[in-house]
Amino acid sequence: MAIRDRLSGNEATAVAMKQINPDVVAAFPITPSTEIPQYFSTFVADGAVDTEFVAVESEHSAMSACVGAQAAGGRAMTATSANGLALMWEVLYIAASLRLPIVMACVNRTLSGPLNIHNDHSDSMGARDSGWIQLYSENNQEAYDNMLMAHRIAEHPDVMLPIMVCQDGFITSHAVENIELMEDEKVKAFVGEYKPDLHLLRKEAPISVGPLDLPAFCFEHKRQQAEAMRKAKSVILEVAREFARISGRHYGFFEEYRTDDAEVAAVLLNSTAGTAKFAVDRLREQGKKVGLVKLRVFRPFPADEIAAALWKFKAVAVMDKADSFNAAGGPLFTEVASALFVKGAPGPKIVNFIYGIGQRDVKAEDMEFVYNELLNIANTGRVGSVYNYLGVKEEEAVLNGLQS
């Protein structure tokens, strides 16, 4: 039977890590992810796990320690946020290129500067092309479930890539919600043991890890990484189906909410989906045909699947909680727009809304504004501005605030 509890997102993640019982956890504290290694360290101290907990001097060292542990044949995990993830930048690419299935909890927080410890997706979006698989979580339950599935995905022989499980800092990481946990033995049986064919401590089959890769082979190795990311798509669905059989909870690349007869839809990530669902329900009561597509898997990006799901709508708003500073749209928008373009004309009208930067509050009324804008586009066939900011103050007010 499922175990009912009330936990924050950080607690839920730490409990999942305890049930997995990795060989090594290396971490350095940074808000709002600090609680995860803090909770986990108590499990180590209490003897609930036999994990080697490595308290390092920086996030760069944390990821380096995970690379060493995983290369030696161990199962390694860590957690970080924002500038901590940025300090890992160099080693993120190394972990992926070495095909080391490290699992990291990324508690999304604004990437400085200016200094802000609150939520948006600029940290993980900045690492979107580092070669890591990325899963996103609407609530604490999804953060827990994604963490349980992460090793199975990353360690699959067709994949062997690192994976980050993302959730919104403070909004879910520190908010307490009801949650259903699985029994320890069931988790242990589902996750299984990590037994890599090759590692540094296998003396009968010595290998070199991280050697100089000259022009004769570097391109081929990068191509293998790309192929592994492509194969991860089918593995993600395979693992989700098995997880559903033991938990009753179903996951795919994305969730469609009230989209069957919808004329317009919003596309977004993580906790804002809860606000959007509330807005959808309220607008549905007014007879407005609106829906939501909440993306769970951003890397590998499910381009064909998302294009097929969005094709039926007259207008789509892609919501980005990060800005690419490219004058052409946020990171999620450019991916979705590309997927729709490849599918061909005519397709839905598509607009982008940058929102929630630095954890600027996004209310149901804000989402209703977005949906009403979409309905206007659907009715008139005309798009005013493709690239929009939602809830931002006027420039003059911002400058006055800085000067004061």
- Three-state DSSP at 35 gives helix
Average pLDDT for 212-237: 97
**Inter-residue contact 351 to 317 (CB < 8 Å):** yes
| Helices 218-247/140-154 angle, 10° precision | 130
Query: What confidence score (pLDDT) does residue 305 get?
Result: 98
- Minimal CA–CA distance to 28: which of 53, 51, 55, 64? 55
Side-chain-side CA neighbours of residue 310 (13 Å): 37
Q: What are phi and psi of 8, to 5 degrees?
A: -80, 170
Strand partners, 389: 354
* Residue range 107-157, pLDDT digits in tens: 999 999 899 999 999 999 999 999 999 999 999 999 999 999 999 999 999
Q: Is the pLDDT of residue 63 over 80?
A: yes
Q: Is the pLDDT of residue 401 over 50?
A: no
* Residue range 273-324, pLDDT digits in tens: 999 999 999 999 999 999 999 999 999 999 999 999 999 999 999 999 999 9
- Three-state DSSP at 54 gives strand
* Degrees to nearest 5, angle at CA 158 with 153 and 160: 60
What torsion, rounded to 10 degrees, do the Cα atoms 211, 217, 221, 224 define? -150
Query: What confidence score (pLDDT) does residue 404 get?
Result: 43
pLDDT band at 396 (very low <50, low <70, confident <90, very high): low
Q: What's the chain's average pLDDT?
A: 96
Domains detected in the chain: 3-247 (3.40.50.970), 254-402 (3.40.50.920)
* Residue range 71-96, pLDDT digits in tens: 999 999 999 999 999 999 999 999 99
pLDDT band at 20 (very low <50, low <70, confident <90, very high): very high
